[in-house]
Structure 1
Amino acid sequence: MNNPGFQRLAGNVVIVTGAGSGIGETAARAFARDGARVVLVGRREAPLAAVADAIQATGGEALVVASDVSDADDVNAVIARTIDQFGQLDHVFNNAGIQGTGGPIIEMAEAAFDELIAINLKGPWLMTRAALRVMIPSGRPGAIVNTSSFLSTAATVGTSAYSASKAGLDAMVRAIALEAGPHGIRVNNINPGVIDTPMLRSHGEAIIPPLAARAALGRVGTPEDIAGVAVWLCTDEARFITGQSILVDGGFTIPGPR
C-alpha cells in the first residue's frame, strides 16, 4: 500500500486521456495524490476543468487540454502544451475510449467501426508516438500505460469492432515496448474487466448484479481498482514490467462452470 506521506511520482508529469469521467478522472486524481503534475485530456473542456479544480483544491497541479486523441494535430498540440507548461513529460495514461454502437456485425455501420478504431486504437498509437518523440531525447525513464479490456481475448455479441480495437492494443504494446525499452521507457496495458463507470451504467443498472455474481470476488470493479494499477505501473515499483497486458477483472473471466 502507498504511504500517504510518500509521493512516489513527485516531480513527474503525466498525461491522462479521457480524464473527464470514470477511470480517467479517478486516475488523474490518483496521479496527483502521488505527486505528479497532471495534463487532463478529453474532447469536452467542462468536465476536464472540474477535475482540474478538484486536483488544485488539494494542492495539486493540473493542465486542461481539450483535444481529440484520434487527430494527429490535436495530439501533437497536447504534447507541445505539456512541454511548454511543465518542461518535461514522464508518463502517459492512454485511457480515452468508446464502446461504440455495438450490435451484430451485419447491423453495424462502417462509420461506427471507423470511429471506434480511430479512438480506441489509433488514438493511443498517435499519443504514444508523439510522447516518445519527446520522452526518448530527454533521456529520462518513464512509462506509458494503455487501457485495453478483457474483451481483447473474450467477446460477446456486438463486440466485433470493440474487441478488435483492444486486441490491437495488446499486440501493439509488445512491439512498442521493444522500441522504447532501450531508452528506459516501459509500455504496458491494463485490461479491465467489468467496471462500474458511466459507460457501464448507460446500459441500465439492472445488468450490474448478474455481472457482479459472475466475478470470483463477487462484485464489479471500481474506477479506483484500475487507477491504482495505472499509477503503480508508472512508479519504480513496476520498473521491470514492460510489454504486458495485465488483466484486472476480479476473477470475472476465470474459465469453467459457474
Structure 2
Amino acid sequence: MSGRTILITGASRGIGAAAAELFAEEGAALVLMARRADALDRVAGPLVARGARVALAAGDVTRPADVERAVGTAVDTFGSLDGAFNNAGWGSGGTPLHELDESVYDRVMDVNVRGVWNCLRHQIPVMLKSGSGGTIVNTSSTAGTVATGAVAPYVAAKHAVLGLTKAAAMEYGDAGIRVNALVVGSTRTELMDELLEEAPELEAGFTARAIQKRMAEPREVAQAAAWLCSDRSSFLTGASVPVDGGWSAI
C-alpha cells in the first residue's frame, strides 16, 4: 500500500484499530475517523512513533459534514484519497422486533446504512476527480446475508450495506473505482469481550456455526480489508467476501 492514502472509519478500536496498524505496516498514509478524539490518539500514537503517516478526523459518520471533513483531511494532508475502509458500525442486543424501541431502529440504521451512504457520497467524488480510480471496502456481517438471531434492524442494515456496495460497484466501475464488502462473522473485539464478561454463556452461540469453532481476531478481518484495498484484488468488485471461519459454507 506504499504511496496510497486510506481513510478508515470506526478506527478507534476493534477491527478499525487493527486495520490502522496493518495498513500502516504496509506503507499506507492513514486518515483515522471515529467519534472520540482521545481514543483515536491512543491508536495513532504508537503508529506515528514507528514512522507512520497518520492524520486524525474525529467525527460521526452519520453527519455528512464530519465525513466531508475527513475526506478533505486526506486530500489536504496527503494529496489524495486512494482507498477507504468504511468500518464504523453499531448494534444492540437481540430484543424481539415487536418490543424494539424506535430509537434503536433509528440508531442502527443511521450508523450502519446512512454512515456508509455518507462515506460513499463524499469519497467517490474525490476519486472521480483524481482520475486514478480507487478502492472502497464496506463492513457488512453474516447478518447481511441471513437472519442470524441479531436484532432485526441490524440484519436489515447489514443487508443494505451489501446492496449499496453492489450498486456503487456497478455505477463507478468504468471509472476504475472498485467497491467490495466484508461479510464478517463473530470477532473478538473489545466490545465482544465486554459482552462476554457479562454473559460468558453467549460465546458458544457465537462460535457454533463457524467451521473453525472460534471467533476471528480483529487483525484477521483487517487482513481481508487490506487485500481488497490493494492491487492484489484488482479483478474483484461488487463482491461480498466472507470472513467468517466457514460460517457461510454450512
Classify the TM-score, shorter chain.
over 0.9
The answer as to whether partners of 1:149 and 1:193 remain within 8 angstroms in 2 is: yes
The count of aligned residue pairs is: 247
Mapping of 1:1-258 within 5 angstroms? Answer: 9-205=1-197, 206=200, 207-255=202-250
2-side partners of 1:164 and 1:126: how far apart?
Answer: 18
2-side partners of 1:179 and 1:171: how far apart?
Answer: 12
Q: Compute the displacement of 1:220 (Å).
A: 1.1
1-side partners of 2:150 and 2:52: how far apart?
Answer: 41
Q: TM-score, normalised by structure 1?
A: 0.92
5+ long unaligned stretches in structure 2 = none
Q: Compute the displacement of 1:199 (Å).
A: 2.3
Code of the aligned partner of 2:25: R
2-side partners of 1:222 and 1:29: how far apart?
Answer: 14
1-side partners of 2:69 and 2:205: how far apart?
Answer: 43
2-side partners of 1:201 and 1:99: how far apart?
Answer: 15
Q: What is the aligned partner in structure 2 of residue 3 from structure 1?
A: none
Match of 1:73, SS? helix
**What does the per-residue CA deviation read over 1:197-223, in whole Å, with 9 as the maximum and x for residues that have no partner?**
122223224232453354211221110
**What does the per-residue CA deviation read over 1:128-157, in whole Å, with 9 as the maximum and x for residues that have no partner?**
110111111101131000000001122244
2-side partners of 1:107 and 1:158: how far apart?
Answer: 14
2-side partners of 1:197 and 1:183: how far apart?
Answer: 35
5+ long unaligned stretches in structure 1 = 1-8
Q: More deviation in 240-249 or 73-82? A: 73-82
Code of the aligned partner of 2:9: T
The answer as to whether partners of 2:31 and 2:73 remain within 8 angstroms in 1 is: no
Q: TM-score, normalised by structure 2?
A: 0.95
CA RMSD of aligned residues (A): 1.3
2-side partners of 1:96 and 1:140: how far apart?
Answer: 25
Identity %: 38
**Greater share of helix residues, 1 or 2?**
2
1-side partners of 2:73 and 2:248: how far apart?
Answer: 40
The answer as to whether partners of 2:93 and 2:151 remain within 8 angstroms in 1 is: no
Match of 1:66, SS? coil
